[in-house]
Structure 1
Amino acid sequence: MNTIIEQAERRTFLKTTSGMVAGLALGGSITEAMAKAAGSPAYNIPLGVYAAYDKAEFLRKSGCSYIEESVAGFLIPEGGDAGYEKNLQQLKSEHFPIKSYVILLPASLKTLGPEANHEAILQRTETVLKRAKECGSQFVVFGSGASRIIPEGFDRAKAKAQHIELTQKMAPLAEKYGVTIAVEPLNRGETNFINSLAEGVEIVDAVKSPRVKLLCDIYHMLKEDEPASEIVKYGKHIVHCHIAEKEKRTPPGVKGDDFRAYLGALKKIGYKGGLSIECFVYTDFEKEAKRGVEVLKQQLSEV
């Protein structure tokens, strides 16, 4: 009996040490090699989907940890204050969290250029942040590409200064309500200003507020051919993430995009925040959203 046990232990030892040797041969440390040999736990982060809140129960059953809504759809709806109160009551009865809100500003409110309207933007932003706090939400996404397009012939340095000045005025409001504004770089098909993580960090660094941070949108990074290594470079600023397939902004699993390089970069920085599928057009929402969550979980387990 002892001989059989000894042989089994020896096989286990050889298997473990061979894995360590392989890891060291690839340039890893002894600690990393031991972790790989032992089998590291799968990378897991909270997943969500951008959708109307009436999809909350479906997304809960589909494996999501939260839902992502829009400012105009939930916090400042067409129904005005009464519409918002109705939404708030639905949130309280469903008990499914809204982590974040997209599209802070409509195209009519300009952050820069000759038609910049900071006063109206700040009024709207305070209402949004106040209500986001009431809803127990963490983030408001500051993308709003149509609001920040630099007009042709307008001085780019002046436009940047205007946008930074506005964001600096937003910061105390975010701090007051304890909700973080996540600056979102967008691809050049949507706007001509803040098109990379590096440019987003310029805004964050200029504002210098614990409540103004960076959003990483893997879809926009793919459109801009921005490498996954940029996530590692600017990881300390990233608080929230979006994702969609590159060609037509479809959910993961429709075209079959491989996101593992970007997910691996998130793992490398120790990112534990949310990852939201953010798409605006579905052929079949329930089928594609559920499949998207499944594909993301699978790819996360492989990084």
Structure 2
Amino acid sequence: MSGGARRQTAGPLRDRTVVVTGAARGIGAALARDLSRRGARLALVGHEKTELEALAAVLTTPALACEADVTDPAAMEHAAGLIRTRLGPPSVVVANAGVAEGGAFAASDPERWRRVVDVNLTGSAVTARVFLPDLLETRGYYLQVASLASIGAAPMMSAYCASKAGAEAFAHCLRAEVAHRGVAVGIGYLTWIDTDMIRDADRYPVMRELRAGMPPPARRVYPVDRAAARLGSAVENRSTAVYLPRWLRLAQAGRAALPSMVTRATRRRLSRLESGTPLLPTGPLGTGGAADRAAPPSGN
């Protein structure tokens, strides 16, 4: 047996069922590949059934593709039933599904704004509610994928920032409620990751320039596999918090000062951009955002 095979089958995740939402692409797909190498059985949940099935087919451990909208309780309950039957009760759940749109709040479409919040916040709560009985049974681990946006809100991303801050607060509340039952809850704080969502955002001048105006360490884009490895280690270690880059931990101490700093940093830049062209909404960012928009309305 090769050293790589030994790494795949050794460790705390061996033969454990792990649910990853938003697994069709980006961070979710990369994390699924990382967790499979660590020996876990993967339940891949999200839109884009074809992509989910293609990913399941190449993983080196048993995997199940479950097409479901995370905001639809009935669809998620159905997926949970399939997962329990075919892979066993999950002992890890990663709430990763997320969508984003850019643009000024005043010009935003109210339904699209609410959809971002529904997927990123309500979808995380639905995911936790559906799988909490399994986590209580297995004394498992729930990982909420949050964002730098949870710590420091940015202009032109009001729905995304609000939803990620809400998801962070939800995870803190859940942790306090289930710690005495042996369930651990972690939060993943990620900055800019090289996914099609970020690449799509960079096509819009206002989004590209706002990121370019951030201090050099804060505007760097990190490889998706690096984010997946960091989150995979957090799952293995049942971490309370995980940061990419690690210096984001320092931002926690200064988060009370961040809103005024962001306002000062962007006031002049936004004024200049707005004088040149209207700051129109971007629409759903990335292929995943387009897939969410094209999906049939949920039954919630």
Query: Is the structural similarity TM-score above 0.5?
Result: no
TM-score (norm 1): 0.35
The structure showing larger relative contact order (alpha-carbon pairs under 8 Å, at least 6 residues apart) is 2
Select the structure that is richer in helix: 2
User: Between Structure 1 and Structure 2, whose CA radius of gyration is higher?
Assistant: 1
TM-score (norm 2): 0.35
